[in-house]
Amino acid sequence: MWPLDPAQKEVLRFAVSCRILTLILQALFNAVIPDHQAEAFSPPRLASSGFLDQFVESSSHSIPEPLVQLAVDKGYRITEGNKPPWCAWNLPLIYSYIQDVYWNVGFLRYYELRQVPNFLLAVPVAILVAWATWTYVTAHPWLCLTLGLQRSKNSKMQEKPCPGFLSPQVFVYVVHAAGLLLFGGLCMHVQVLTRFLGSSTPIMYWFPAYLLQDQEPLLRSLKTAPWKPFVKDSAQEQTVPRNSMMGLLYNWKTCSPVTRYILGYFVTYWLLGLLLHCNFLPWT
């Protein structure tokens, strides 16, 4: 095992700490809010007669007529019914059929007035990815216009490329994120856009980090003297722990508005998701 530098150790320590804190909070939330829907995911309990006796006994009784009629009214397939259309397709894809018929997934199908709360849930990540795309395009218009296939007449950018998020090497990730945003916003259930983008593109995390480093004075002060506390000023003493994010949270009142919005959103989404989703409550 090769030795880790201080930066890698801090990242590893922060990741492990977040995981341990998540497990502790999940156990706490599960104790406070009981898993009222957990029984729905439990296997059926067998009586003392055993599985074989139950199977023979249940197979000897037909399904009650009201249940069959309910299934027909809801459009469910029953044993006596016709085969579904997807069975006759040249490429029988049941998932596409389920999305089209049962889930109503398609181009602009989700744009309904009753879905406004779900759109509001996806607005923050949509703004982040759209903002990241616009920032990158305005920083490298020629690179985006030529898809990086032709060098610009101004070779300064090629000789000294911008570091970090504005690097030309990030172009493919920006295109990928923009494509996912368009596809998810126009053709998917928009409430899954947050986890869809969060699990598919690193732009969701690179661009907020770029904004924090670019617009947060507390982080800019660490570039010249990393891991050192701030100097006392006339107003108050500001200190920053070794972890930058904890330092921003510690000095929340002195942070810029962009920093407050970004950290507030991610921390709130994390806590609410941990509280609701692990207890089978509506969350995505």
DSSP 8-state code for residue 105: -
pLDDT for 79-129, tens place per residue?
666 677 887 788 878 888 888 888 888 898 989 899 898 899 899 999 999
In total, the chain counts a number of residues equal to: 284
pLDDT interval class at 60 (50, 70, 90): very low
Q: What is the mean pLDDT of residues 233-260?
A: 69
Name residue, tokens 């009753």.
Answer: 114
The proportion of the chain whose per-residue pLDDT surpasses 70, expressed as a percent, equals: 71
Task: Please give the full DSSP string across 53-74, using - where no structure is assigned.
Answer: HHHHHHHTSPPPHHHHHHHHHT
Spell 183-199 as b/e; 16+ CB within 10 A means b. Answer: ebbeebbbbebbebbee
pLDDT at 210 over 50: yes
C-alpha pair distances (Å), 31 with each of 17, 21, 24, 62:
21, 15, 11, 42
- Considering only CA atoms, which of 263, 239, 261 is closest in space to residue 250? 239
Which amino acid would we find at residue 211? L
Residue 239 or 204, more confident? 204
What is the model's pLDDT at position 10?
Answer: 77
Pair 131, 215: CB distance under 8 Å: no
Q: How far apart are CA 283 and CA 37, in angstroms?
A: 14
- Considering only CA atoms, which of 164, 61, 181 is closest in space to residue 124? 181
Q: Phi/psi class of residue 83: alpha, beta or left (left: φ > 0; alpha: ψ in -120 to 50)?
A: beta
Coil/strand/helix, residue 231: coil
What is the model's pLDDT at position 35?
Answer: 57
pLDDT at 5 over 70: no
- Considering only CA atoms, which of 212, 192, 190 is closest in space to residue 200? 192
